[in-house]
């Protein structure tokens, strides 16, 4: 689906400083070589299966299905991966690629900390240096993940500029990359940034839909009616959608973080409230004012607290192939608690946005219909924040 110049329709591109151009060109050439290299693919599959625990389960959520009284609900359990989220899929791919390129150091941005933990993990495994940039606000919200990254040998740098959240961590990682390119790979965590990142990250995450499509055909003998995933930058969503894109009968639904509501300023729902712009290396939709100043977005979920969306999602929205819906903090927290009590699964607060929409959609569908929800990560990291949201102060 990618044009040669890294465009998805009008979106994408390479809006980055000249200093980085040869680095992204080198990355693209290396990726184009290794993606078809049998040895690279054998090594990556082995890492996926033996290290990360793939394939992830497609679990029939029977209690939830019965409780909601509509469509059959399956959960794609990316939360069961090593390190507890889908982020490891992309990181293992990029770390292996970086190693083949002769790089010895990985840098990354992180919001909730899941991508940072995954990058620190891959760096430890492959004997690489690792530096993670994380908004200072997020280091407080996700203190446990900061500790995990340090335990894994990574250096965590709190970013104090701007809103001190994910977008500022991305900006700081980009600045770091321009200052040290020769030995360093920027392991970008979502389907965003300049070409070739949106394509590389999508391809490594596409294992989610490759598996789930085979699994649902095996279990049900048919494709699902809807696939639902949460969208910040959009990596688990594009991975969940990708192999269904040609299957026109399958609705693809991305759940954006509406924060306190799309009619407030405290939201991160880019497609619902944003407009076309150019930022962080790509043309896409962004939350911004009329002068193009990027908005200080908000969501309870640090992983969805980003003012833009990946260019392929922007394109799928433009052509109407995927739908994007806003989910508020309150709805997500309710879904977080609901899945814990109903199925004994504590989802990441990010993933709870997808669960929340399924809770609205399933009762409107018939019992013959099937929904697949991607549970992109596990929610242990969120327990303290959700307790706080409910007025309870936990001492970990």
Partner 1 sequence: MSNIHSAFENGKAFVAFITCGDPDLETTAAAVRAAAENGADLIELGIPFSDPTAEGPVIQGANLRALNGGITTDKIFDFVEELRTDVKIPMVFMTYANVVFSYGAEEFISTCQRVGIDGLILPDLPYEEKDEFQPLCSRYGVDLISLIAPTSENRIAMIAKEAEGFIYVVSSLGVTGTRSEIKTDLASIVKVIRENTSVPCAIGFGISTPEQAKKMADISDGAIVGSAIIKLLEKYGKDAPKYVGEYVKSMKDALR
**Which residues are designated catalytic?**
87, 109, 376
Site for partner 1 contains 281 (CB under 8 A) = yes
**What is the rounded distance in angstroms from the CA atom of residue 328 to the CA atom of residue 80?**
25
Residue from the set 8, 11, 16, 375 that interacts with partner 1 by CB under 8 A: 16
**What is the rounded distance in angstroms from the CA atom of residue 109 to the CA atom of residue 96?**
18
Q: Give, as ranges, the residues between 361 and 390 that touch partner 1 (CB under 8 A).
A: none
Contact 255, 327 (CB under 8 A): yes
- Nearest distance, CB of residue 340 and partner 1, angstroms: 36
Interface region with partner 1, contact rule CB under 8 A, candidates 20-28, 136-144, 230-238, 336-344? 20-28
Identity of the residue, 47 or 170, whose beta carbon is nearer to partner 1 in the bound complex: 170
Identity of the residue, 48 or 285, whose beta carbon is nearer to partner 1 in the bound complex: 285
Q: What is the largest CA-CA distance in the chain?
A: 56
Q: Give, as ranges, the residues between 216 and 275 that touch partner 1 (CB under 8 A).
A: 275
Q: For 323, what's the count of Cα atoms within 13 Å in the CB-facing half-sphere?
A: 14
Interface region with partner 1, contact rule CB under 8 A, candidates 41-49, 52-60, 86-94, 174-182? 174-182
* Rounded to 5°, angle at Cα 59 from 58 and 60: 125
Residue from the set 42, 63, 150, 180 that interacts with partner 1 by CB under 8 A: 180
Residue from the set 2, 15, 125, 369 that interacts with partner 1 by CB under 8 A: 15
User: Before 55, cis peptide (omega within 30)?
Assistant: yes
Residue from the set 61, 123, 253, 294 that interacts with partner 1 by CB under 8 A: 294
Residue from the set 39, 221, 246, 291 that interacts with partner 1 by CB under 8 A: 291
Residue from the set 124, 162, 260, 369 that interacts with partner 1 by CB under 8 A: 162
Site for partner 1 contains 14 (CB under 8 A) = yes
**What is the rounded distance in angstroms from the CA atom of residue 200 to the CA atom of residue 252?**
21
Site for partner 1 contains 10 (CB under 8 A) = no
> Who's near 4: CB < 8 A, 6+ residues apart?
none
Q: DSSP readout, 183-225?
A: TEEE---SS-SSTTHHHHHHHHHTHHHHHHHHHHHHHHSS--S
Site for partner 1 contains 131 (CB under 8 A) = no
Identity of the residue, 193 or 379, whose beta carbon is nearer to partner 1 in the bound complex: 193
Q: Is 261 exposed, middle or buried (0-12, 13-18, 19+ CB in 10 A)?
A: middle
- Nearest distance, CB of residue 280 and partner 1, angstroms: 7
Among residues 373, 381, 371, 370, the alpha carbon closest in space to that of 346 is found at 381
Site for partner 1 contains 303 (CB under 8 A) = no
Site for partner 1 contains 142 (CB under 8 A) = no
Site for partner 1 contains 4 (CB under 8 A) = no
Helices (H) and strands (E) in the chain, counts: 16, 14
Q: Is 314 exposed, middle or buried (0-12, 13-18, 19+ CB in 10 A)?
A: buried
Which residues contribute to the site for partner 1 (CB under 8 A)?
5, 13-23, 161-162, 167-168, 171, 174-175, 178-181, 275-281, 286, 288, 290-294
């Amino acid at each position: 689906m990618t044009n040669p110049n890294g465009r998805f329709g009008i979106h994408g591109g390479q809006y980055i400083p000249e200093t980085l151009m040869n680095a992204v060109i080198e990355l693209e050439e290396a990726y184009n070589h290794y993606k078809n290299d049998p040895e690279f693919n054998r090594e990556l599959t082995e890492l996926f299966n033996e290290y990360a625990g793939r394939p992830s389960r497609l679990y029939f959520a029977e209690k939830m299905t019965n409780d909601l009284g509509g469509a059959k609900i399956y959960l794609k359990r990316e939360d069961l991966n090593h390190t507890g989220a889908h982020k490891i899929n992309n990181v293992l791919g990029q770390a292996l690629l970086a190693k083949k390129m002769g790089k010895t150091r990985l840098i990354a941005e992180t919001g909730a900390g899941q991508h940072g933990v995954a990058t620190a993990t891959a760096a430890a495994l492959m004997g690489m240096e690792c530096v993670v940039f994380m908004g200072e606000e997020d280091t407080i919200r996700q203190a446990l993940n900061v500790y995990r990254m340090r335990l894994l040998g990574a250096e965590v740098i709190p970013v104090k500029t701007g809103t001190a959240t994910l977008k500022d961590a991305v900006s700081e990682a980009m600045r770091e990359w321009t200052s040290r390119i020769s030995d360093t790979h920027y392991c970008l965590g979502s389907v965003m940034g300049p070409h070739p990142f949106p394509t590389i990250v999508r391809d490594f995450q596409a294992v989610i839909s490759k598996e789930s499509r085979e699994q649902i055909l095996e279990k049900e003998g048919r494709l699902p009616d809807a696939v639902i995933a949460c969208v910040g930058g959009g990596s688990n969503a594009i991975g969940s959608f990708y192999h269904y894109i040609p299957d026109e009968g399958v609705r693809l639904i991305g759940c954006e973080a509406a924060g306190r509501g799309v009619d407030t300023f405290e939201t991160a729902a880019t497609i619902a409230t944003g407009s076309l712009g150019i930022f962080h290396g790509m043309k896409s939709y962004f939350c911004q004012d009329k002068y193009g100043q990027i908005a200080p977005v908000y969501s309870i979920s640090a992983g969805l607290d980003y003012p833009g969306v990946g260019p392929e999602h922007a394109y799928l929205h433009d052509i109407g192939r995927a739908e994007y819906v806003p989910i508020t903090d309150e709805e997500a927290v309710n879904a977080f608690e609901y899945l814990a009590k109903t199925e004994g699964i504590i989802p990441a607060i990010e993933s709870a946005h997808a669960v929340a929409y399924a809770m609205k959609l399933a009762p409107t569908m018939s019992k013959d219909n099937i929904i697949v929800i991607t549970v992109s990560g596990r929610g242990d990291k969120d327990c303290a924040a959700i307790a706080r949201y409910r007025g309870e102060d936990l001492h970990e």
